[in-house]
Amino acid sequence: MAKLRLGLALTGSYCCFGKLAEVLPALCREFDVLPIFSENAQRDSRFGQAADWMALFAEASGREPVTTIAGAEPLGPKGLMDVLAIVPCTGNTLAKLSRGVTDTAVTMAAKGHLRNGKPVVIGVSTNDGLGASAENIGRLLVRKNIYFVPFGQDDPAAKPTSLACDYDRIIPAVAAAYEGRQLQPILV
Ligand SMILES: Cc1cc2nc3c(=O)[nH]c(=O)nc-3n(C[C@H](O)[C@H](O)[C@H](O)COP(=O)(O)O)c2cc1C
């Protein structure tokens, strides 16, 4: 049976690229992965050089990452993904998804994909998940065709409003979303 085609969209939570890279081989075994990088995810940071991260994802998936709105625009109309996973998803991208703002490669991919009634899976990674982003997470939790990788507080003592998804649950969350189900429990 053909593998599910998974758009794997990274946004600018640079600290989590390494966590995603750890599960990338398993994701690529399970799915036909198409990497997508937001414009901000394509910047160097103290967590590494953008070119190195992009090369890693390109090599593991066998596909050149999508990096622009123009590059992401055909993904929906041409039906090139079965599921789109946005992991790690910043507070910034959560806000845009919640309010219908489409000004990055990742939000463009989501818009085109949702247009076709297909599932988007969000893996949150933001220090204000229980702060300013909480409202956006709430809006997305009740939105049709939007699912979440189970998430929780990653450091309640030092970062009391921070939320992070469980990278080990990306695969089952994507499989469930493809079947129209939210993987439970959402809160870990
Ligand atoms: C070193 C560094 C780490 C960051 N980590 C996060 C993060 O974990 N979560 C988050 O929401 N924003 C984080 N940001 C801020 C985002 O990169 C910023 O909001 C950016 O506009 C996100 O754009 P995007 O969502 O289009 O990728 C970080 C910024 C820097 C410079």
Residue 16 domain-assigned (yes or no): yes
Q: Which of 68, 90, 126 to mutate to test the pocket of ligand 1 (most atoms within 8 A of CB)?
A: 90
Average pLDDT of the chain is 98
Q: Would 187 be classed as within a structural domain?
A: no
Distance 163 CA to ligand 1 centre (A): 13
Residue 30 resides in a domain: yes
Find where tokens 């439970």 sit.
184
Any domain includes 17 = yes
**Over pLDDT 70: what percentage of the chain?**
100
Q: What is the tens place of the pLDDT at every residue in 143-172?
A: 999 999 999 999 999 999 999 999 999 999
**Ligand 1 in contact with 11 (CB < 6 A)?**
yes
Of residues 63, 57, 23, the one with CA closest to residue 42: 57
CA distance 16 to 130: 18
- Residue 99 domain-assigned (yes or no): yes
Spatial contact of 136 and 97, defined as CB atoms under 8 Å apart: yes
109-153 per-position pLDDT tens digit:
999 999 999 999 999 999 999 999 999 999 999 999 999 999 999
In a domain? residue 184: no
Domain count, the chain: 1
Is 183 domain-assigned?
A: no
Q: Is 67 in the pocket of ligand 1 (CB under 6 A)?
A: no
- Nearest residue (CA) to ligand 1, atom 19: 92
The predicted pLDDT at position 1 comes to: 79
Which tokens sit at 136? 């956006």
Query: Residue 67 belongs to a domain with what CATH number?
Result: 3.40.50.1950
Residue 46 has pLDDT above 90, yes or no: yes
The tokens describing 117, both together, are 């009634």
Residue owning tokens 């946004």 = 11
Quick one: what percent of the chain has pLDDT higher than 90? 99
Query: Does residue 41 have its Cβ closer than 6 Å to ligand 1?
Result: yes
Query: What is the domain range of residue 44?
Result: 4-178
Residue 185 forms part of a structural domain: no
